[in-house]
Structure 1
């Protein structure tokens, strides 16, 4: 039997490589556990939404956290625009609404709930942006604040205005259908009138000869003078 020559130096190198890989795996496991711990809180929003100019749209959101709430959690919701550190457009604690969204922005959320809906009315072309929801609440460990990292990208299109005009044009053409209904109502009257005239004529045609025949018989049977 042929045996391969032993290579102590090479075996040592392989052992050192395996040891390094094992240490790297242990470190990766530790980092993964730490990363997972950091992800125990967050805000969920849809990645992308499409809206039509002039209509309204709802951006749903929900949040989660590992901490124990204080007796008075003082939950609050805020919304940012364009980027993670962008301008605030809404703050529930201050009843603040950005001038651009005046009378067009509604937060459908109740204190204590972990989900809600951010509604924008009468969408405008420049409403197209990325929206970030931010949450703040009081815990037994103090005040905690965090927000969505990717946010929700809102796209605005003009399709709705075209779609809405089409039905209005169809609706304005409805008088044609009305005329058809009117014609439908008139035709039965004319038919009824014609039928009545036909019946009268038929009766006259039958009655006149009958009366004539009766008169003729009476005249024939009358006594001669």
Structure 2
């Protein structure tokens, strides 16, 4: 066969090779590109809580919707860094000795979010916390992924209540009381009104008592001014003086009582209205 005949045959063979599908040239595992499993993990970047308090570190995750049925879901937490020690595992159950009786996972297997609660926080609990998810999918088999950034937890000092020292002087006590009263007044107008009402309630009985005593004194003075002069004379005559050498002294008070028979005479200018005489009786 000459060269002019081989050239067309080679061209025809090359054309047939180009027209054949790739699946006929390669195995079935190269026929379709391998599917990829998509996943995601979300955690808050930073959190802070006071020493002795508690904190919840939230998390959420997602995965490919075409994964099929999912089973054997496990949640784990690492501490300090991405490859740090595990402090919590759902299966098998594990709690780090530094967090004994202080960890609680708020999560259920059919949920894609939850939180890790840490109670009775200590200064050494500071650091980064990383959530890890592990599951078995129907399409992609066993899958495991973890947050890269994690959550940075900061522990703050607990606030201390200052205890005031003893009062050194009366003026200092008065100033402190005035300051507290002023603060209370600024804090709540209702408290100020209550204080005023209490003061009025305390002062009212005292004022009523004073008014009653004053009224009684005025009434007695008025009644005495209206008393019959003869009664005054009889009462004064019953008052005896001091007995000395068998003689009794009795003070007599004479009043200028107007006579019904004669018009009253005006008293002498500057003269006394009444005068007291002593009568001596020999016993």
Establish whether TM, by shorter chain, passes 0.5.
yes
User: What number of residue pairs does the alignment pair up?
Assistant: 173
Measured after TM superposition, the shift of residue 94 of structure 1 is 2.6
Q: Supply the distance in 1 between the matched residues of 2:54 and 2:83 (Cα, whole angstroms).
A: 25
Give the CA deviation at 1:214.
6.1
Ranges in structure 1 where 5+ consecutive residues have no aligned partner: 1-36, 171-175, 221-225
Structure 2 segments unaligned to the other structure (5+ residues) = 1-35, 165-176, 185-193, 233-256, 258-283
**Structure-1 separation of matches of 2:97 and 2:71:** 29
Quick check: which one's helix share is greater? 1
Per-residue CA deviation, residues 45-101 of structure 1 (Å, 9 max, x unaligned), is 11222232222111110000004342x622221101122222110011233211100
Q: TM-score, normalised by structure 2?
A: 0.51
What's the secondary structure of 1:195's corresponding residue? Answer: helix
Equivalent in the alignment of 1:117: 115
**Which of 176, 188, 203 in structure 1 is aligned with 2:216?**
203
Q: CA RMSD in A?
A: 3.7
Q: Relative to structure 2, which stretch is displaced further, 99-108 or 203-212?
A: 203-212
Structure number, greater radius of gyration? 2
| 3-state SS in 2 of match to 1:197 | helix
Q: Write the distance in 2 (CA, Å) between the matches of 1:79 and 1:188.
A: 64
**Match among 193, 198, 206 for residue 193 of structure 1:** 206
1:89-128 → structure 2 map (5 Å cutoff)? 89-128=87-126
Matched, 1:144 2:143: yes
Return the offset for 1:198.
2.7
Equivalent residues of 1:69, 1:138 under 8 A apart: no
Residues 7-156 of structure 1 mapped to structure 2, 5 A cutoff: 40-66=38-64, 67-70=66-69, 73-141=71-139, 142-156=141-155
